[in-house]
Structure 1
């Protein structure tokens, strides 16, 4: 099975509903709102004048938000539909950006050079089978003393059954996980094509950190967060503006984590 082609098809189907959704709120973005959250803004620091590579950028709102902060941005995504939307937004809003349609593992075929910052966020690692290969590519595209920053959904939340909120899956599960859907996680918008199949993988915290360290990066910081910044799962309540938790567990469990690495 060609997992990338399967996932590319599903993301191509989901992208139009994402663009039209309240979840992404493209109109506010067009009117000047940033799509970035406080975690990545604090973690990345001042990006002005920096060459920044955004991996798995979807349709580019975060990439373009970083460009508005002065970064020289390149966004990469598997979905050609999403990349076209990103290019259209860049052109419409007159925000300089470079967008490349590629899966992460083939990036060497489409991109050269090196970057001051590599960034990726929120629901990205679950689409990658091999984190060692991913981490090697991160190392490859970072300049000496360059920074890698990721903020990601905590793998613990994927152990929970989102109906009764009890632990159902092993934290240490491995192998491809096939799913079928015909609606978006954003607001339940239906896709034109029914029963879309896609494939994901679970990656523990130790796997994520170890892959980057083994590739030659040095750990600068690691943080876990007792809240989610998106209302993107069932049974969530907002405890503060922009901070969401499961109603059953509140802030007792981790929802997100971030890793900052340096290439020495």
Structure 2
């Protein structure tokens, strides 16, 4: 349900995520045993669009338990830093990094709100800021987020964002074919749902969460206003989870049936900072 943003939104969301960390650690969705054995957590289009990260520093905002962050380290990033507001998630990420043999100089994780990232992270700037896959909906102020990203980029560095398409938030959950919500609303969406995307049947207590829709134009305009140059904006007809009941799995992704017209389910963008690219 839509409503004005409640005063306790931050505390409610953090309690929501803190409780779900052990559920995610134990889930088949994250399959940490396979990840420890070498499975890549990144999506194929992300690797292709980001390109070679060898020798580059990378900051992952809203990193959760760090599997995407550490995957970039495995792909050759010289230093990765993950940031998340959930202390239990950061503790898991640190333990995973140590298990995989990464020292703190190579892979570091910090607990902080994303808006405080500039003060919390160990370095003043990064070649790549990476984020997304269900991250932006937890932030009420997308302009402040964009300004934070821009301030954290090295000259010539870039943001890479892979995110669920906001169009999916306005469609019905069953078929994904009817418009039932307001695309342009600025009110908060308050959920009271038990379980988690990694285990829909899990018993949970902290079920209240507060989220916001961010239309595509709002995200792009905020990044441009923060001084970043949009290099590309790509839309994808795949999802990472069964967002609609009518989805089927093909080629490792969740999609609408093949006989249905396609709509964008995810998007990705690259936005670069001015200046000569860093060689750090």
Cα distance in 2 for partners of 1:104, 1:139 equals 13
SS of the residue corresponding to residue 213 of structure 1 reads helix
TM-score, normalised to structure 1, is 0.94
TM-score, normalised to structure 2, is 0.89
> Which residue of structure 2 aligns with residue 242 of structure 1?
252
SS of the residue corresponding to residue 252 of structure 1 reads coil
Cα distance in 2 for partners of 1:209, 1:43 equals 17
**Deviation of 1:121 (Å):** 2.0
> Which residue of structure 2 aligns with residue 64 of structure 1?
70
Cα distance in 2 for partners of 1:16, 1:175 equals 31
User: Is 2:20 the counterpart of 1:19?
Assistant: no
> Which residue of structure 2 aligns with residue 150 of structure 1?
161
SS of the residue corresponding to residue 27 of structure 2 reads coil
Q: How does 1:69-84 map to 2 (within 5 A)?
A: 69-71=75-77, 72-84=79-91
User: Is 2:49 the counterpart of 1:43?
Assistant: yes
- Report the RMSD for the aligned CA atoms in angstroms: 1.6
SS of the residue corresponding to residue 147 of structure 1 reads strand
**Deviation of 1:233 (Å):** 4.5
Structure 2: give runs of 5+ residues left out of the alignment.
1-6, 275-280
Pair 1:250–1:120, CA change in 2 (3 A)? farther
User: Is 2:124 the counterpart of 1:113?
Assistant: yes
Alignment deviations for residues 2-43 of structure 1 (CA, whole Å, 9 cap, x no partner): 322211110001111111111111111011111000121011
User: Is 2:114 the counterpart of 1:104?
Assistant: yes
> Which residue of structure 1 aligns with residue 8 of structure 2?
2
Q: How many residues align?
A: 262
Question: Are the equivalent residues in 2 in contact too, given 1:34–1:65 (CA < 8 A)?
Answer: yes
SS of the residue corresponding to residue 167 of structure 1 reads coil
Question: Are the equivalent residues in 2 in contact too, given 1:39–1:151 (CA < 8 A)?
Answer: no
Question: Are the equivalent residues in 2 in contact too, given 1:14–1:191 (CA < 8 A)?
Answer: no
User: Is 2:199 the counterpart of 1:187?
Assistant: yes
